[in-house]
C-alpha cells in the first residue's frame, strides 16, 4: 500500500509539473494558474522570515478578483508584470492562495533577471510554508520552464550556470493557506552563494574591512590631488 501511495505521489507531481511547463509554452494570453484543492483547514500563519534590509515587494495584502496579481503576476497575466531584479537583490514578499468558485489556487510571484553574459545564479527562498519554485527562460510568448521543484518550509536554494538571456524566477504555494491570506517570505537572487538568511543583504553593505579600503582609497586620492596641485604651484 505504501509503495502504491508513493507511485501515486510521483504521478501526481509529474502531472502538476507538466501542467506548469505547458502554461508558459502556451503563452501569457491563457492566463492559467497552478491549481490546488483547498483542504478543510489552512496552514497556520507563521512569523515572517524577512529581515529589515530586504526590499518590500509592495504587493497589496488582498489581491484582485480571482487572485489577479498586478504587481508581479508574470506571464500568466495581461499586461505582463514582473519584479525586476539585479545581482544581489533581496525581497520581502507575500504569497496568497484564493478561491475561484469551489477551486483553490495559488497566486505566483515572478522575478525577472536579464543576463548579458553567462553567469552562475543562486536563487534562494526562505519561506514558512510548503511551496513550489520554477525557473523559466523568456520571453513569455516563446519561453519554457527549465526547472520546477516542490519545497519544504525553510530555505531552498536553486543554482545553475545560465547563458545570457532573460529569466523568470517564480514562487508559488503548494498548500492551501486560506482565501486571500498573505504569507510573507524572503527571496534572494545573486551570483554568490546565499549563506544564512540574516546575512543575505550583506553583499550590498560594505563590511568593516571594505570600508577601511574605501577610506584608504579616498585618503590616497586626496593626498595625490594635493601633491599634484602643490607640484604645479611650485613649478609656476
Does one domain contain both 179 and 231?
no
Is residue 82 domain-shared with residue 182, that is, in the same domain? yes
Task: Provide the domain count of the chain.
Answer: 2
Within this chain, do residues 122 and 229 fall inside the same structural domain, yes or no? no
| Coil vs helix vs strand at 135 | strand
Provide the β-strand partners of residue 114.
166
- Write out the DSSP string of 72-105: T-BTTSSS-B-EE--TTEEEEEEE-EEEETTEEE
Query: Do residues 199 and 228 share a domain?
Result: no
Beta bridge partners of 126: 155, 186
Helical (H) or strand (E) element with 35: strand 35-36
- Do 225 and 171 reside in the same domain of the chain? no
Farthest CA pair distance, the chain = 96
Looking at the fold, whether 154 and 95 belong to one and the same domain comes out as: yes
If asked whether residues 106 and 194 sit together in one domain, one would say: yes
- Give yes or no: residues 210 and 120 share one domain: no
**CA–CA separation, 164 vs 161, rounded Å?**
10
* Strand arrangement, sheet containing 89-95: 55-56, 89-95, 183-190, 119-127, 154-162
- Which residues are CB-neighbours of 105 under 8 A, at least 6 positions away? 33, 34, 35, 36, 66, 67, 97, 98, 99
3-state secondary structure of 63: coil
Residues 123 and 233 in one domain: no
Residue with grid cell 496552514, as numbered in its chain: 43
Q: Based on the domain organization, do 136 and 106 belong to the same domain?
A: yes
Both 193 and 94 in one domain: the answer is yes
Residues 225 and 139 in one domain: no
pTM: 0.72
Domain hosting 213: range is 206-236
CATH number for the domain spanning 164: value is 2.60.120.380
Sign of CA dihedral 203, 191, 182, 131: negative
Q: From first to last of the 236 residues of the chain, give the pLDDT tens digit.
A: 323 222 222 233 333 333 444 444 433 322 234 455 556 566 666 557 888 889 988 877 666 665 667 788 888 877 888 999 999 999 999 988 887 777 777 888 999 999 999 999 999 999 999 999 999 998 988 888 999 899 999 999 999 999 999 999 999 888 888 887 788 999 999 999 999 999 998 755 444 444 455 566 566 666 655 555 555 555 55
Cβ atoms of residues 193 and 149 within 8 Å:
no
Amino acid at each position: 500500500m505504501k509503495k502504491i501511495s508513493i507511485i501515486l505521489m510521483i504521478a501526481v507531481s509529474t502531472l502538476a509539473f507538466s501542467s506548469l511547463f505547458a502554461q508558459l509554452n502556451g503563452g501569457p494570453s491563457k492566463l492559467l494558474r497552478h491549481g490546488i484543492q483547498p483542504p478543510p483547514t489552512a496552514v497556520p500563519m507563521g512569523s515572517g522570515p524577512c529581515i529589515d534590509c530586504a526590499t518590500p515587494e509592495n504587493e497589496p495584502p488582498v489581491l484582485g478578483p480571482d487572485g489577479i496579481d498586478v504587481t508581479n503576476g508574470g506571464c500568466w497575466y495581461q499586461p505582463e508584470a514582473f519584479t525586476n531584479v539585479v545581482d544581489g537583490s533581496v525581497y520581502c514578499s507575500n504569497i496568497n492562495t484564493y478561491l475561484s468558485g469551489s477551486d483553490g489556487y495559488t497566486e505566483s510571484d515572478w522575478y525577472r533577471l536579464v543576463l548579458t553574459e553567462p553567469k552562475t545564479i543562486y536563487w534562494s527562498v526562505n519561506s514558512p510554508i510548503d511551496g513550489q519554485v520554477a525557473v523559466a527562460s523568456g520571453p513569455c510568448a516563446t519561453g519554457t520552464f527549465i526547472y520546477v521543484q516542490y519545497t519544504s518550509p525553510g530555505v531552498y536554494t536553486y543554482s545553475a550556470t545560465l547563458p545570457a538571456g532573460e529569466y523568470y524566477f517564480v514562487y508559488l504555494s503548494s498548500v492551501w493557506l486560506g482565501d486571500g491570506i498573505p504569507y510573507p517570505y524572503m527571496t534572494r537572487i545573486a551570483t554568490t552563494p546565499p549563506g544564512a538568511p540574516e546575512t543575505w543583504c550583506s553583499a550590498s553593505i560594505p563590511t568593516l574591512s571594505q570600508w577601511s579600503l574605501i577610506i584608504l582609497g579616498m585618503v590616497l586620492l586626496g593626498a595625490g590631488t594635493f601633491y599634484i596641485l602643490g607640484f604645479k604651484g611650485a613649478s609656476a
